[in-house]
Structure 1
Amino acid sequence: MKPHAEMDEVWPRDGRIRLVGRFHGLTGPAAGGWELLLVRRDDTGRSLSHPVRVRGGRFEGELPVTDLAAAGTAGTAAVAEWDVHLTDGTVRLRAGRRLDDIRGKKKIMVFPEQSVPEAGGFRVRPYYTVKDNLSLECRAGGPS
């Protein structure tokens, strides 16, 4: 199994998405300088980063959903998907949940969405992909 950022907790609430996990498969210590890296899954090449706290082989970070609203969904569609990674500037690890023996999390683990009223009802929802990686779905305002 490739090295990755193993997600233990995903907490979408109060206008933030809090992420807690551990490094899996790294060769060497996970020292400071790590950050959450959100990479938009389209041809815009956009990315957002947020600091994380690292202690031992564990990390904890959070991102405000207003940052995603500010990045918008402009571009190819009214829906934007962002893939979650952790990086120290040299190594980039995909965030996901693979060590729990639960396959098909996309249909099993459903997280609540949060809206950003000041951004016209912009909505953000974390989800697991078909490969059990963590991503974020962002939708422009309007009905679900």
Structure 2
Amino acid sequence: MGVPEVKPRAEVEEVWPRDGRIAVVGRLHAVGDGHGPDWRLAVTRRSRPEHVLEYAAEREGDRFRCAWDVADLAAYDDGSTGADQWDLHLTDGTLRLRVGRRLDDIRGKKSIYIYPRQPVPGARAGFGVRPYFTVEDNLSLECRA
């Protein structure tokens, strides 16, 4: 029997929502040597995929870290929806990895990990951003007033 092939992953280890920012720390798994040091976090609006925010991702070896201001997402709030979801991907321009947490053998993180909502001063009344795990254990953001 051979060793099962591991798909490349951007595996979340820590999520830090506080002070109007969200930071994500994790590891790249099974990425290989053919990829450069310049990685970015792409935050894509699920209902309007043409809306993409990009942030630099620091990389040291197989570890990555990125952070952003939640106010950036408020600029896309048009008040027409009750909630909007944004999906996170780590990319170097050739490889695009969904940011999530699957290698810890804990399933159903959506109901286990509950992160605080970050309010956005100056945005629509009560508007805030909250990281959450999807039913597939990927990390996404929920924006709602």
TM-score by length of 2: 0.89
Q: Kindly, what percent of the aligned residue pairs are identical?
A: 54
Structure 1 match to 2:95: 91
Unaligned 5+ runs, structure 1: none
- RMSD of Structure 2 on Structure 1 (CA): 1.5
Matched, 1:23 2:28: yes
Alignment of 1:39-50 (within 5 A): 39-50=44-55
Query: Distance between the aligned counterparts of 2:16 and 2:78, measured in 1?
Result: 22
Between structure 1 and structure 2, the one with the greater Rg is: 2
**Ranges in structure 2 where 5+ consecutive residues have no aligned partner:** 1-5
Taking structure 1 as reference, are residues 33 and 73 closer, same or farther at Cα in structure 2, changes over 3 Å only? farther
Out of 100, 107, 116, the residue aligned to residue 103 of structure 1 is 107
Cα distance in 2 for partners of 1:110, 1:25 equals: 28
- Pick from 15, 18, 27 the counterpart of residue 13 of structure 1: 18
1:42-93 CA-partner distances (Å, limit 9, x unpaired): 1452111010110001101101001011122556x23110001101111100
CA contact (8 A) 1:73 1:138 kept: no
Bigger CA drift: 45-54 or 30-39? 30-39
Task: Tell me which of 117, 125, 133 is aligned to 1:128.
Answer: 133
Q: Segments of 4+ in structure 1 off by > 4 A?
A: none
- Structure with more helix by fraction: 1
Q: Is 1:78–2:78 an aligned residue pair?
A: no
| TM score, norm. by length of structure 1 | 0.90
SS at match of 1:117: coil
> What letter corresponds to residue 86 of structure 1 in structure 2?
L
